[in-house]
Amino acid sequence: MKKKILNVGCGNDTYGTHFIDFYPAKPKVVKCDVNKERFPFPDNYFDEVYSKYLFEHLNNFSHFLKEARRVLKKSGTLVIITDNAGFWGIFGKVHHGGYEKRSIDKVHEEDKHYALFTPNHLVNWLNLANFKNIKVNYYIDEEVIFLKKHLLWIKIISFFTKRFSPQIKAVCEK
């Protein structure tokens, strides 16, 4: 049986079997304000809920985590990838949005960041939402375009200091 994977805040990402986003970038994506709306799926439906570069855009982390937990099957996995608040970021551009420009709906608010996280922040939020087996690691997303020309240096330096890991990745279970 194929794993059911919900990609929340997917943009143009193709990872997953089901997709929801504030700004749907393609017809297959269901529009959902994950800050306040119920995810349009039944309880205990997904094997995995995956969210990449969304958490920092939320203004209601508790609601998102509650809904992710609700739609996950027992022992289902939640994966969150977000920006590392401790990243020095001297090699790249500062991210100021732009997701809204890729929306097929074209009626939307300006893209916003509401928070940055350290590994401890994510652990605190996931504990508060009753997730278990929480693992948080520094992460380097090789697909991030502005880092490609500096990727080798970032990998070498991040071996010595985590300040050069631009993202953090949390994996936990319901």
Stated pTM of the model: 0.81
- Banded model confidence at residue 93, pLDDT cuts 50, 70, 90: very low
Q: What pLDDT does residue 90 have?
A: 40
Q: How far is residue 63's CA from residue 108's CA, in Å, rounded to a whole number? A: 21
Looking at residue 109, the DSSP 8-state letter turns out to be: P
Instruction: Look at phi and psi of residue 27 and say left if phi exceeds 0, alpha if psi is from -120 to 50, else beta.
Output: alpha
Token pair, residue 95, equals: 């991210």
Task: Report the pLDDT value the prediction gives residue 96, as an integer from 0 to 100.
Answer: 46
pLDDT at 170 over 50: yes
How sure is the predictor about 88, in pLDDT bands with cuts at 50, 70 and 90? low
Percent above pLDDT 90 for the chain: 52
- CA 174 → CA 42, 43, 46, 49, 60, distances in Å? 15, 12, 11, 10, 19
The secondary structure element, H or E, covering residue 97 is none
Q: Estimate to the nearest angstrom the gap between the alpha carbon of 28 and the chain centroid.
A: 19
Residue whose pair of structure tokens reads 């097929």 in the numeric block: 104
Contact 168, 81 (CB under 8 A): yes
Residues 30-82: pLDDT tens digits?
999 999 999 999 999 999 999 998 998 899 999 999 999 999 999 999 999 99
Quote the CA–CA distance of 129 and 123 in Å, as a whole number.
10
User: Residue 98: is its pLDDT beyond 60?
Assistant: no
pLDDT band at residue 108 under the 50/70/90 scheme: very low
Confidence at residue 91, expressed as pLDDT on a 0 to 100 scale: 44
Per-residue tokens: 115: 């928070």
**What is the pairing mode between strands 72-83 and 167-173?**
antiparallel
Domain positions in the chain: 5-173
Share of the chain above pLDDT 70, in %: 70
d(CA 69, CA 77): 9
CATH topology of domain 5-173: Rossmann fold (3.40.50)
Residue 97 pLDDT exceeds 50 = no
- Among 88, 98, 92, 15, smallest CA distance to 50 is for 15
- Give me the pLDDT at residue 24, please: 87
* Orientation of helix 61-71 relative to helix 119-128, angle to 10°: 60
Average pLDDT, the chain: 81
* The pLDDT of residue 155: 60
